[in-house]
Structure 1
């Protein structure tokens, strides 16, 4: 998640997978942002504006982590767009339902501050009665929240081809801050829940136009190999309160709204 100082907007770096790049003939051995990297990111259906190199891959769209090794892979994705602002999913989803997905904080994240945040994320998802149930554990989790630094609030990846959730959410706790108030817990839980949404296959609600929540220029990502599939039943009109919008104002709480609940129940 990035912070837009001009508009006081924090952009969700819900980096859904980190894709590192390897060239076939000229294999990429670093995270250099070459024309090939840019072309590969565009072919996957992501904006090429503001790409940043990250350990093992790249951060795109402010919060989505793409592993370098995934850049050249054809994921056989689909693309369906109706309107400008709806819920979208990736081609890969979590399978083996019903399923318990375990979540945990690493020792690098202060449990006294962020433990209640993760508990609130678990509560929000489990209150929907989905076929995926979140369970907080101390180690060996399916999805681990780890501390990180960078020009984003958090980042995560998308589900694997084998049907598992992305296993890592990087959280910039220094940028998010700390606190014990309900307001802080709800704000941080919105960021965590957003990133976990990427881990189970959600793209940004304003995928077609990130300027809707982030400001700046209108962006149209083009074709997609990772998948940008409209979730039936979600609105064709703008949705200003979805938890999967790309950017969020500082201190804002976005619990699941009616359209988010429709999307969650359709997928899981």
Structure 2
């Protein structure tokens, strides 16, 4: 998830300051690492957009908040994909299986606002009565780990957080990365804002695509960009609307505040996991 910036001033989606909440992270506005042509070719072959690709520790962030590891990019994409380019809620081909299921979430190396934000996101999901529930743990084996990274703005946007999609084996994606850079959330992060971003990234982990994946300009502004099937599918969820949905929790870019499920989001989640 991303938010739009004007220079160093806040304007608009958080995918991930927290000077007061970060741990052992030095704030920096260093120029992002260059991404090689070979890597861009692999990202394109995998089905993702090659515009605004960011190198981070262990891989690359594409399309605002999708994290691809170097290992993933070396693998051949397989499996069916379906793309229906309207404006409904969309899911990936792979979903979380083995229901009912408790997904354990572990927060590491992040401050109190991120911990409280995680609890906020978990409470919102658990209140829906789905067959997947979430539990924050402080020890033991986690299904999803939430950790930090530090990256400043680039091209008028800053990444607030990133994650990925479920595995072919039915497990949720196992990593959410939240940006600890001071220009992401400010020096005193708002818990509801942070929680909304974590809520969005958990959505990806359980198989939700961006509501506006076919035209990211809807929430991000700028040039219209279609994310495509990205090798993971973009399957419209029955019962969700065919018109623009300005308040969905899975819009590609943040409104800069507290955003949770709307009625159509709940219809989509109920269809998949009730």
The alignment's TM-score, normalised by the length of structure 2, stands at 0.82
Answer yes or no: is 1:137 the counterpart of 2:146: no
2:194 match? 188
Give the count of matched residue pairs.
244
CA distance in 1 between counterparts of 2:40 and 2:204 reads 21
Any unmatched runs of 5+ in structure 2? Answer: 17-32, 153-158
Superposition deviation, residue 114 in structure 1: 2.6
**Cα distance 1:32–1:178, how it changes in 2: closer, same or farther (>3 A)?**
closer
Give 2:77's match in structure 1, choosing from 70, 74, 79.
74
CA distance in 2 between counterparts of 1:44 and 1:228 reads 14
CA distance in 2 between counterparts of 1:132 and 1:223 reads 25
Give 1:160's match in structure 2, choosing from 144, 167, 174.
167
CA distance in 2 between counterparts of 1:178 and 1:35 reads 36
1:225 match? 231
CA distance in 1 between counterparts of 2:228 and 2:85 reads 14
Superposition deviation, residue 36 in structure 1: 4.0
Give the conservation status (yes or no) of the 8 Å contact 1:143–1:169.
yes
Residue 103 of structure 2: SS of its match in structure 1? strand
Q: Which moved more, 1:135-144 or 1:192-201?
A: 135-144
1:261 match? 266
CA distance in 2 between counterparts of 1:255 and 1:213 reads 15
Give the conservation status (yes or no) of the 8 Å contact 1:42–1:221.
no
Superposition deviation, residue 116 in structure 1: 2.1
2:220 match? 214
Q: Residues 94-109 of structure 1 correspond to what in structure 2 (within 5 A)?
A: 94-106=96-108, 108-109=109-110
The alignment's TM-score, normalised by the length of structure 1, stands at 0.84
Superposition deviation, residue 124 in structure 1: 0.3
**Cα distance 1:79–1:43, how it changes in 2: closer, same or farther (>3 A)?**
farther
CA distance in 1 between counterparts of 2:269 and 2:262 reads 11
C-alpha RMSD of the superposition: 2.1
CA distance in 2 between counterparts of 1:63 and 1:223 reads 15
Give the conservation status (yes or no) of the 8 Å contact 1:43–1:222.
no
Deviation readout 1:149-205 (Å, 9 max, x if unpaired): 12421111111111111111111134224648xxx2221111010011111111111
Answer yes or no: is 1:9 the counterpart of 2:12: yes
